Amino acid sequence: MNVALEGEIVRKLKPVFGYLHRNHEQIGEQTTYLGSMPYTDRLDYFCSMTNNWAYALSVEKLVGIEVPERAQYLRVILAELTRLQNHASLLGFLLSDMGAWGTPLMYAFREREKILDLFESLSGSRMMCDYMRFGGCRVDTSDEWLARAKQIADRFPKFLDEFDALILGNEIVIARTQNVGKLSADLAISAGITGPMLRACGVNYDVRKVDGYGFYPRFKFRIPLGEHGDTYDRLMMRALEMRESVEILKQALAQIQPGPIVNPKVKIRAFRPPVGEAYGRIEAPKGELGFYLISDGGPNPYRYRVRPPSFINLTVLEDLCLGHTVADVMVILGSVDIVMGEVDR
Amino acid sequence: MIGTGILKGMAVTARNFVGSYFEKERLITVQYPEERSPLAENYRNFPFLPYDGDDPHAGLRCVACKICEKECPPQCIYIVKSDDKKPDYMGKPQFYPAVFDIDISVCMSCQICVEVCPFEAIKMDKEFELSKRERFNNLLQRKEELAKPNEYYHKICPTEAAEVDGKLAAAAEAAAKKKAAAAAATPSAPSKPSPPSASS
């Protein structure tokens, strides 16, 4: 980013994108529908499961595919595990940006590691999961896997309590984050901000509640809301959302029943959706992630568009940073929660 | 009182530090080259071609249908179909790949080739220590390097390999039955016109 300074105060700021641009949308228009699925892992490489889900959801909308019950539960479980590990590592990175080198990040990565091990034993890869398929999921889970997931969900609040004691009550953290990088609700709505960053401003908008995609209407959970829209609210929003995710996980793991995991009517080879268009969106850990597809009846989409939360959340960076010092810019940028793979595509 | 938050944080760190001497669970790092954590059975990284029996040429299951080449998202597979045919595991004459290359510097381990293959001819390997001194020929794996015996597949993923073997055996049995039925049906058919030809 380019920053104009007056002493140490930021007077002008311009984020510069494009260093990681790799033609994701153009590649999506040239490969088959299934072939784009592994590429979506590379968008936001922290949360490949939710990326897969958003893409699968938009193709399912385009074709009108039913998803079996067990697959829906598995998707919810995996999405909430992804949210846990994304928010945990975000807290670590944000505190690392603030100068708490290493320790909080290692605590967060210790928990993230357990979730990644789960992903690895299920899908074969830690980060590039490529697990969802149109009309379901790729491989079935074992009961042992579900038991391990339950154990992680049960133990996670203990980690959150430890993390609260470790750093979230720390006076330096509070001094560095409160009243820094304030975002007003009006600006957030008009700029199209979504996800925890929007809810930190006190706007009650969560696609899980608004759209009720998947089986989310079946679960009881609350949406944490902030009040001031500053960096501290954004930080705490993640900590509180993790607790709600644990609640969803516990309910989903208790309700899941054996059954088929993929719709047998969906063809793997020679998959051609009918002519039409569809926009599927989900609440990814970073915000609303949507895929817009236009089909001309061929084996690859005519138009493949990604609505990335990181990119759109980053556009208000200048408004957040004006009048603050250079040291605060790092903290504000960290609290936006961006992954460059998704910003540039 | 100001400073209590910091002291509380320090107490957590101290508890974890001291605890790591007494509880094995708190020691989470693995000293990699000496110690290794076991790989999950579903773990995947690069594809290989399993073959039945001892001969990598005769036992190769691939029939060079090129579906994987077409479906591979980063287009890292290159196949040239053979001119002649060889019998496959069911005894049916089939083409085989004269050239089968996978550029593992391009491959992104998505295992779509495994899913689309109708012949169970390509599977995912688990070898991950692949550093090479030369980056052109060594990273382009040829058919000879990709072909690995079925026993190796059984060793790395026992459950999945057993399932695949069962499927192939069932297919071979069905094919043999069909052949036997066809053989039982055909003798009567050509035997009728044969007597006149024999007489003439």
Does the beta-carbon distance from A122 to B42 stay under 8 Å? yes
Q: What is the pLDDT of residue A229?
A: 85
CA dist., res. A69 & res. A257, Å (int): 8
Question: Taking every pair of C-alpha atoms in chain B, what is the biggest distance, in angstroms?
Answer: 118
Q: What token pair was written down for B172?
A: 């071979």
CA dist., res. A207 & res. A82, Å (int): 16
**DSSP helix/strand/coil, A147:** helix
**CATH code assigned to A2-344:** 1.10.645.10
Percentage above 90 pLDDT, chain A: 6
Q: At what angle do helices A231-255 and A326-336 cross, to 10 degrees?
A: 20
B47-171 is classed CATH 3.30.70.3270: yes
Q: Which residue of A has its CA nearest to B125?
A: A124
Whether A283 and A207 have beta carbons less than 8 Å apart is answered as yes
Could you say which of A110, A138, A171 has the minimum Cβ distance to residue B6? A171
Mean pLDDT, residues B89-112 taken together: 82
Tens of pLDDT, residue by residue over B141-157, are 888 888 888 888 888 88
Q: Which residue of A has its CA nearest to B27?
A: A110
Q: Give yes or no for B98 touching A (CB within 8 A).
A: no
CA dist., res. A333 & res. A323, Å (int): 15
Whether A80 and A245 have beta carbons less than 8 Å apart is answered as yes
CA dist., res. A168 & res. B154, Å (int): 49
Comparing C-alpha atoms, which of A176, A175, A174, A180 is closest to residue A320?
A: A180
Tens of pLDDT, residue by residue over A223-267, are 898 888 888 888 888 889 999 999 899 998 888 888 888 887 877
Assembly ipTM: 0.76
Q: Which of A5-9, B4-8, B147-151 has the highest mean pLDDT?
A: A5-9
* Strand blocks (E) in B67-181: 77-87, 93-103, 123-124, 140-141, 147-149
Tens of pLDDT, residue by residue over A105-117, are 888 888 888 899 8
Mean pLDDT, residues A13-42 taken together: 87
- B86 CB-contact burial (10 Å; exposed 0-12 / middle 13-18 / buried 19+): middle
Q: What is the pLDDT of residue A292?
A: 92
Choose, out of B10, B75, B112, B160, the residue to mutate when testing the contact with A (most A CBs < 10 Å): B112
The answer to whether residue A44 scores a pLDDT higher than 60 is yes
Among chain A, residues having any CB pair with chain B shorter than 8 Å are 31-32, 34-39, 103, 110, 113, 117, 120-125, 128, 130, 138-139, 162, 165-167, 169-174, 268-269
Whether A111 and A85 have beta carbons less than 8 Å apart is answered as yes
The answer to whether residue B79 scores a pLDDT higher than 70 is yes
Query: For A58-95, what is the HEC assignment?
Result: HHHHHHCCCCCHHHHHHHHHHHHHHHHHHHHHHHHHHH
Partners of residue B5 in chain A, C-beta under 8 Å = 169-171, 173-174
> From the CA of A63, how many Å to the nearest CA of chain B?
20
Q: What is the pLDDT of residue B187?
A: 56
Tens of pLDDT, residue by residue over B108-146, are 888 888 888 888 888 888 888 888 888 777 788 888 888
Mean pLDDT, residues B151-174 taken together: 80
Q: What is the pLDDT of residue B193?
A: 46
The answer to whether residue B81 scores a pLDDT higher than 60 is yes
> From the CA of A186, how many Å to the nearest CA of chain B?
34
Percentage above 90 pLDDT, chain B: 0
Tell me the residue type at A10. Answer: V
Q: What is the pLDDT of residue B186?
A: 65
Q: What is the pTM of this model?
A: 0.86
> From the CA of A165, how many Å to the nearest CA of chain B?
6
Tens of pLDDT, residue by residue over A271-318, are 888 888 899 889 888 888 899 999 888 888 898 889 888 888 888 888
The domain segmentation of chain A, as residue ranges, is 2-344
**Per-residue CA distances from A149 to A116, A253, B174 (Å):** 11, 8, 41
Q: What is the pLDDT of residue B59?
A: 77
Q: What is the pLDDT of residue B190?
A: 47
> From the CA of A11, how many Å to the nearest CA of chain B?
33
